[in-house]
Structure 1
Amino acid sequence: MRTTESPHDPSWEVRMLEAAGVSTEEERVYRLLVTSFETEPGRIAKRHGLEAGETLRILESLHAKGLVSRMSGPTPRFAPTPPDVGFGPLLLKGQESLEWARSAVAQLTEEYRSSARRRDAGQLVEVLTGAPAIRQQLRNLQLGAREELVWFCKAGHVAMTSNDNTEEFDALAAGVRYRVLYERALLEEPGMLENVAEGIRHGEVARATADLPVRLVIADRSIAICPLVPVADGPGEPTAALVRESSLLAALLALFESYWDRGSPVRLTESRPGDPDAEDERYLLSLLVAGVTDKAIATQLRISQRTVQRRIHDLMRRTHAQTRMQLAWQVARLGWLDAPGSTSVEGDLP
């Protein structure tokens, strides 16, 4: 039967100081000195059944480590250094060695992973099966992110709805940047615009586009999750790829950036004194440019569809636009949806 040592095992007790660089025999001798305080090498040798020369060698080693001191007199005698004084430098040295060892292990681990990735594609791409597994990994990515998360958000969902993603607000509060590109059809789903607006108020940077090729999230430019099979392709379990640093991940990053550059900003700003409609007006423009329907905009702003159309026509009149397409062009030219603090041709909304 397999047994394990415990603090009640005497053999375990005399190996407690190995981490400080003290051998088993040195610890036995030191413990004897602690209990007797001062003694001769001969008594120690007799007590432990050692040769006199071996006992003296152990005492000299303890002396070199600062754990015992030699007493003056005709017969050599040794006394223990107080443990808190003697072991302090040894433990500090042990801590430094441990930190060096941890650093070396971390470096070796990264070298191992790099080598494994070159030889085994399974180290680069892991297949996640089932909504719970995908949802857990999405949460892990957000909890572990330190700098930035980027998202492609398509209509429908595979494992986590936007309302379920409470980790985003925690990450934003911790200083993690979110860049989220929304598909137009998703913005038109019930309650989605309100959810997007809440994210923007917490610090999310949002843009919209007509269509997205895939669902995607990338954390700190080092790991990504991308569903493998479209939701509508069958009743089976959803699957997703967990992609680590590789040429594939670099391609996914490039794909995100290319779509992000073409996306239209979804903007909320604080209302200015004397202009209480500024926030709604800028939000309305960003949704209009993104192609969101008048009905969805009206629902989000809690106004009638007729009021949305009236505001749009008023903006067209102010920008001398004959069509909504011309209005979108003028909005871009005037910089009305530019990031706060950026320079535009005409400045703020008139």
Structure 2
Amino acid sequence: MLGAIGLDAGQESAYRALVALGAAEVADLAHRLALPETDTERALRRLEQQGLASRSSARRGRWVAAPPGVALGALLTQQRQELERAELAAASLAQEYRAEAAEPAVHDLVELVTGAGAVAHRFAQLQLGAVDEVCALLTEPPHPDAVRTRPGVALRVVIERETLAATPSSVLSQRDAQLRVVDRVPGGLVVADRSLGMVPLTARSSEPAALVVHGCGLLDALVGLFDAVWREALPLRSATGGFEELANGPDATDLEILSLLLAGMTDARVAKRLDLGLRTVQRRVKGLMELAGVTTRLQLGWHAYARGWVSREPGAPLP
């Protein structure tokens, strides 16, 4: 709990015990903590440095706890001020970076990261630094902590069908996550905010390595690759004990509804024409939009033609 102000577990335990007692001898406190007296005294000296404890002036070897409300409040205020200074420094550095990156040198557009630790660190940095969206293509089951974002950051993931069963549920059940599945993903990829990408290198004989790609034509191509795979992938939905694919395509009723809507009919007229309830029509349209991965009916119409759900023949009679 108090690690944020620089105390380790032993020091926090010592302070809590001292607060409970008000004041105590080193030997008594060490017995209470089940620690050697040398370790207890070392913890008390650290607490003294932090202003959380002091030596009693009335009795040698006795320590007194500082009032938590005052002592911790001062430390928290100091931490907040340090964080504010760090945020200002980060903002200033980001502004300098943007200014310098306006015309980056060609050799600065792609970084080679080598070593398991360095790759894992840069991978986490890329994801947790995203502000709007993280997109990922997964060719193998990720580690439970490998794909994660900050709250409010959208996550879109495409997984190969063969690896779906072995993918940790923590990845599949993340808030703000949209998941799709395909038979084969062309390669591993993570893109943050469409401005920074990471591609793992799969050489079997060497240590783990990855390419980090900054904003350039190569990154645009990687983003285009993700978008193309995403459009062709099938959405996943929550199911008992895991996730399951949505239907491969619309049923006969869905196709009739689509045809009538594309002919210009309103939802109400479609419902009357097919002897369906208005809410049923609207629910099916919503399901089709989810299946197609689109957010507007105009996009749904384009997707329906692209997937061959409706006829594209010129001059075809309207239903």
TM-score, with length taken from structure 2: 0.47
Which structure has the highest strand share of the two? 2
> Which of 1 and 2 has greater Rg?
1
Instruction: Give the TM-score, by structure 1 length.
Output: 0.43
